[in-house]
Structure 1
């Protein structure tokens, strides 16, 4: 459990960053309970990121993780984007709204955002993690000079090896069961779709770095299974969605208890992501228009979600969740960490 020792954690547990759902309050509660809390800044600008980090620092003096997106710059196709807007227009009209006239690149990659990099260098969090790819060499050097440990998500051995070559200090092995966006570097390339434990076993001993298991880990027994498979720590996201400190809305929380399953879809954001089966997912299954790509598709998706919510419809959210969502236990985050630790036998 090298990561826990390095960071002075009581438990080898990481609360997943979960952009839009994690909050400074959630991360702080996890940190105070002895695990690694996380926030995500990929969906906000530099000013908001600075405020989030300050908020978190005001709640805990313990180490925490700040996650950034490092997706490749989008290839734009105006005709494709117009066709997607047209396909979604009836949905907007159902809620008495109009779709956006044009789609925007609403999220900037850290690799194209010097202001965000400045915030991270200034803040120097104990851990900085990356999703969708790898940071530029100058970013790695700057953050390491400030003492931050660097962690990248990988869905395959090739991606993990690229992380090693880029200077990462640990790798999150994101199994196919995991909720939220797949961390694939190239969403247009074939996805190996490896399960969490299979991926952990493939990476352990092959990359020489601590491996953090992520995907469908919900209780102490599964934490132990991941550690026995060779993981140095585990990362859990869906398990924390129902915590009162998360930003999940009423519809999201209700679906955790009621949804029939999950589906991997790119129709909400433009990148493949595992979502609870809801009205948006049902529409996406029947949609025939070509998805424009990330993050432009998310511009339309977020606008539709907002229109539906304003009309009182809560089933159109980006309700990201892993395949084991039905076993989520809504309780305060600190209490959940302690329950998981007892189940895993960490205090025995």
Structure 2
């Protein structure tokens, strides 16, 4: 046990405190952004809304896993998301990890308003650990006697970043957590504003670290559930995607707030992250609207090879291919020759569908959304 006190060892635990005035501006902007997102949705067709939901849930499944160093297959996740949503998909086999995280994300989306229970958390854990054979406790809180530590560095000289409460306290700690979560999210309970609820839910849960593995992913899901309960509909924000972009800042914020129950700094960080995720959601809505306009404008002007490549570019999302599309990429995606790829790319440039940067082997192509 570290001689330094952890938050759960302090006399204030589990009662977190923070400077409400410091959060006021973020809470106000959060409310404004909710209205903006709802307004943007009014311009989205049913088909576009379906695409948006699939894109959001797929991104979150991928990125919440990447934060933990687990890199999954996007196509398998999208296929699994569609299957779990009851949409028609091909019959290809989806690996257990991709299926499990997708199942959890769809459950979070569909059943956000359900009361939080131990059984719900156990179900999420079973989904997350689908196919795992290396864990002792699956679908239940941890029972091992060894300390639950977050560590890095060499095996013989690890750096302990955090040590959670011992396993024999899990029933008590999680009983308090579940009661707290349900109480603060009771309709009409305005003792905490939305960003504070979501931020505390994440930090409180991850400080208990009740499962043998998967605690970070479930903590982020609980933050999204909290936001959904606060606004009365699925949050559908790119929270994990936004966190993953600056993953080190996320881990630093957690490390800087695991020794105290005064968590103003954490809530400022997490609140701003939620606002950034809302902004990213708005960009994704705009992207899907522009995608529909794009195909209305150009689908009859391009051949099947070009359509296949453009589809793949759109599948990469608003950011496009990392580093842009190369002629080699085009040849591989379209399954064609280099000379045909060159002609196709020139045609796409001439029609204003693609933009070009660089030269020679450094030439890269990008979708011209507003061409």
**What is the TM-score with the length of structure 1 in the denominator?**
0.24
Higher helix share: 2
**What is the TM-score with the length of structure 2 in the denominator?**
0.23
Q: Which has the larger radius of gyration?
A: 2
Higher strand share: 1
